[in-house]
Amino acid sequence: MKFLKYILGAGALTGFLFSCHHMNSGDFINSELTLIHEADSLMRVLTVEDSLDNAVLRAPSKDFSIRALRSEEFAKLSRLMVATVTHPSQDGVGIAGPQVGLNRRIVAVQRFDKGTIGVDGEMVYPFEVYPNIRIVWASDSLSSGPEGCLSVPGRRGEVLRSHEIVVEYADLAAVRSDCSTDDIPMVKDTVKGFTAVIFQHEVDHLDGVLYIDRL
């Protein structure tokens, strides 16, 4: 997602330090593993201008297994997605799995509701990664705002979005700390305002929906 008329702060991502040993790649398929392993520091962003890319962007995404969430591949994918969306060539505020070629329920979102003052006195807004994410509630209060998209270059439009939402996603801290369970612990988060808009835009991607479908 790329929003116009908004100055981005510096992004940050907490590193993934897994305590579970003997991790494998979980349910990643070979094509996904190849995409992750062959990426160096950035991933290619798919666009609607390419027919093969568009097919991926329009396909629904599936959840990660708990073994995949504990894998080195997931950790690398998370780092790559944040590096890609924050690169000057993209300068975005959010990105979803399908946009980098994986139909997986994962988004990286810049949290403008979690700003802190950096060492230089400027506001810093962290990027956070959310796997297996869904919107489980959205307010009836709507507002319209300008949206653009890294996968729809050169276009913009006004989109109606809910002012407040509740998202549910896999709790990575719990996944990392408790290696004895095969159940994926989930957590909910209430988000408002501009950050809620980013979440709605990115979660749409996971269902094969682009903002241009909502114009």
pLDDT digits (tens, 9 = 90+) for 157-189: 999 999 999 999 999 999 988 888 889 999 999
Helices (H), ranges, the chain: 30-38, 51-57, 66-69, 72-86, 172-177, 193-206
| Pairing assessment for the beta strands 186-192 and 164-170 based on DSSP bridges | antiparallel
pLDDT digits (tens, 9 = 90+) for 45-85: 999 999 999 999 999 999 999 999 999 999 999 999 999 99
Looking at this protein, which amino acid is placed at residue 157? Answer: G
Catalytic residue, candidates 32, 73, 128, 202: 202
Instruction: Give the SS3 label for residue 20.
Output: coil
**Locus of tokens 């992004």:** 11
The answer on pLDDT for 8 being more than 50 is: no
The answer on pLDDT for 26 being more than 80 is: yes
49 has catalytic annotation? no
Q: Show the domains of the chain with their CATH numbers.
A: 30-214 (3.90.45.10)
45 token code pair: 């962003």
pLDDT digits (tens, 9 = 90+) for 93-139: 999 999 999 999 999 999 999 999 989 999 999 999 999 999 999 99
**Alpha-carbon distances, residue 25 vs 32, 125, 149, 170, 206 (angstroms):** 10, 31, 30, 17, 21
The answer on pLDDT for 15 being more than 50 is: no
Looking at this protein, which amino acid is placed at residue 53? Answer: D
d(C-alpha 162, C-alpha 94), whole Å: 17
